[in-house]
Amino acid sequence: MRASVVGMDVMRALTRECGFFTRAEARAAGYDDRDIARKVRQGEWTRFRRGFYALTAEWTALTPVGQHKVRSRAVLRSLGDSVALSHVSGVICHGIDVWGIPLDRVHVTRLDGGAGRVEGDVVHHEGVVVDDDLLEVDGQLVLRPERCVLEAGSRATNEVALCLLDGGLRIGAFDQDRLEACFSVLQAWPFMRHLWIPVRMADGRSGSIGESRGRWGFKGIGIPCPELQHEVRDADGTLIGISDWWWERFGLLGEFDGRVKYGRLLQPGQDPGDAVFQEKVREDAMREARGARMIRFVWSDYDDPALMRQRFDRLIRRAG
């Protein structure tokens, strides 16, 4: 019993450090192969790739992005310095928001001239890598963030790509000049050419994936490009609020509403209903100060672009 307690303490220490432990580490802590199989069978441990385990309670509490981070660390433990995280795995390593890309496989770029291939839960990519392309983030070898978002976006839709590019600019992982310089180098690579549109549109003022999707949606249905993060002030110059979008020509403010937004607005001990009410008060004050109307979009609206356009047209007709 004492050995088992000590062993579990070791496993918890290992998962606190990197999110996983290996079969070899479990055996070194006193577990034999039958113990390991029993732990997995009883649901205490999760084997998420061959030879790598996580404590199930911790693993299931992770988001898909969190699980991908752990997988990425495990893959680098297996493959060593012969690869660097890239594509969507590099995007996640750099802390950039991800949407619309499968996370079931870890993406790496070969540094040793190895062939590109899919091998289990790892996608191996070929590509020219120079020293300036490589960074170390939290002890992990990874390609530069501007290259990661471009390579991840190259295999995705333009909408997904714009979300990635906006996300990198938003957190300051790179600036517009670095993004454009990287694209000028990569644009002749396979799958890259379509990204010239998202690269031109990319804007770090887009405050969330929902706002980036909105901007792409507006383009597709012919709604003019709005001013982003528009400050609304009262007659004394006091800031009332910041609107996600502003169409000055039409006197129309716009906002994306997501659940995360209202969670972010919550103060300690505050009821969600109070946060929604305060947001309504803010909206009323902004509209009054601007003499403007307000349009709000939620995630599900993006599934019906025609309805989005109808709502927009209806509001600007009312505004005269």
C-alpha span between 109 and 142 (Å, rounded): 9
pLDDT at residue 272 tops 50: no
Q: Does the pLDDT of residue 319 top 70, yes or no?
A: no
Above pLDDT 70, what percent of the chain?
90
- Reported as a pLDDT band with limits 50, 70 and 90, residue 9 is confident
Which residues lie closer than 8 Å to 11 by C-beta, 6 or more apart? Answer: 21, 25, 26, 29, 55
pLDDT in tens, 112-153: 988 999 999 999 999 899 889 999 999 999 999 999 999 999
CB-CB contact of 175 with 208 (8 Å): no
Q: What pLDDT was estimated at residue 81?
A: 93
In the prediction, which pLDDT does 131 show? Answer: 86
Note the pLDDT tens digit of each residue in 150-186: 999 999 999 999 999 999 999 999 999 999 999 999 9
| Parallel/antiparallel/unpaired status of strands 122-125 and 45-49 | unpaired
pTM above 0.85, yes or no: yes
pLDDT band at 2 (very low <50, low <70, confident <90, very high): very low
Q: Using an 8 Å Cβ cutoff, are 21 and 11 in contact?
A: yes
Is the pLDDT assigned to residue 61 strictly greater than 50? yes
